[in-house]
Amino acid sequence: MSGAGPGMASSDGKKTFRIGMLGFGTVGAGVAQIVLHSQPSLKDKTGIDIRLHKIAVRDRKKRRAVSIDPGLFTADGEEVVNDPEVDIVVEVIGGIEPARGLLLKALANGKAVVTANKALLACHGRELFEAALAHETSIGFEASVCGGIPVIGALRDGLVANRIETIHGILNGTTNYILTRMVEDKAPYAQCLYEAQSKGYAEADPSTDVKGLDAAHKLTLLSNLAFHSVFDISEVHAEGIDRIALEDVRYAADLGYAVKLLAIAKRRNPGADPEDFPGGLELRVHPTLIPFSHPLANVRDVFNAALIRGDATGEVMLYGRGAGMMPTGSAIVADIMDAARGSARQTFTKLQFFQNPREDLPVIPPEKMRSRYYVRFNVDDRPGVMGKVATVLGSHGVSIASVIQKEPHETGHVPIVMLSHVTIEERFQAARAEIEELPFVRKPSAFYRVED
């Protein structure tokens, strides 16, 4: 089935496509609003008529943000995926179950699937992709990463001629908002989190966002596309921002760096160092210092961005609103149109993005990651401290690039802030642990990785 051009129906002559939806929260309401309000223009552009046919919800009597014919609602998700009149199933329930089971049934019934569920795809992507291929249908998931920013399409189509070298992404708007407020308002983490929650940018339980898990899910999906294989969420080293200290945000700024929660996928060639890992892929999410001149340093508030480097294009940056009712709804409707035109199925059956072997690109274990480091030690204000700290670092092969010593705290302890040259994670952590045991050092220290 080949894709149809503008003003044309799908290649098999079908002009009307009926949508079955699983869930109808904020994003589902956005999809419905776009479909209902844009239906005439979509039909004019494509020759295809998209219609809402059936919507599964928990509570059929609940008031909705969009006015919908109540006859479309059902409390039974099975009724949606088994309905022979439904052509495309849109899943916006979230979570793993019942979404996984319902989508497997939809695929078994030959229906195209569109989902915004990054957690489901990061944890069960292989199973779902294989089911789509086996039943000669497709899964569209543009909305699962960065909302309305077409980063999935860029990796799948626009950058297909490139060997992707690196991805650096600000993929979570909640954490980016909190870090922006910490910098601009000079307010501590807890206060900025409370503000994010009061504005609806953070959930009552924000742990998935602030501990880096949401960004790790999204990085898994981007890496599947960029590196032509299937990675598991368990292979991503994830740290969050929930322990970040305002003083480190300020000290980083003094050094010319912004602090961002970055999702990083990075090819690494074999190193000359015998202790180094013999090459592979780093997959990591963590608070990161980046220079103010870095393209991602000025991505503020709830905005997302992905900086992708290919061997032919060099660096390409995609930027915009990464979540919300209408941006995410827009991405879902784009996937619906791809499925209706047949291009989504063509991508799945011809390009085979998720089927390549992993032998040539193992995931590098966390202890073998390479980075520069920012580290802060609180020490007693007495002579010889700097020399002893430097000696321990040197004994582990960690060299110092720069040092600043701040004014003593009211407690009398002096913060020493250092930036290292590039080193292996296990060396740095061994040195840090030994320094923390020195009698003049007050625990705990703080450290962040640096991406220049």
Residues tagged active-site: 218
* 346, two tokens: 């063509």
Q: Count of CB atoms within 10 A of residue 199's CB? A: 10
What does residue 266 show for φ and ψ, rounded to 5 degrees? -140, 120
Non-local CB neighbours of 303 within 8 Å, separated by 6+ positions: 170, 173, 176, 319, 320, 321, 322
178 close to 196: Cβ distance less than 8 angstroms: yes
- Measure the CA–CA gap between 353 and 227, rounded to whole angstroms: 8
Beta-strand (E) ranges in 205-292? 237-238, 257-268, 280-291
Amino acid at 231: F
Give the burial class of 359: count Cβ atoms within 10 A of its Cβ; 0-12 exposed, 13-18 middle, 19 or more buried.
Answer: exposed
Residue 328, Cα to own-chain centre: how many angstroms?
14
Radius of gyration of the chain (CA): 24
Query: Coil, strand or helix: which one is 334?
Result: helix
Query: Coil, strand or helix: which one is 402?
Result: strand
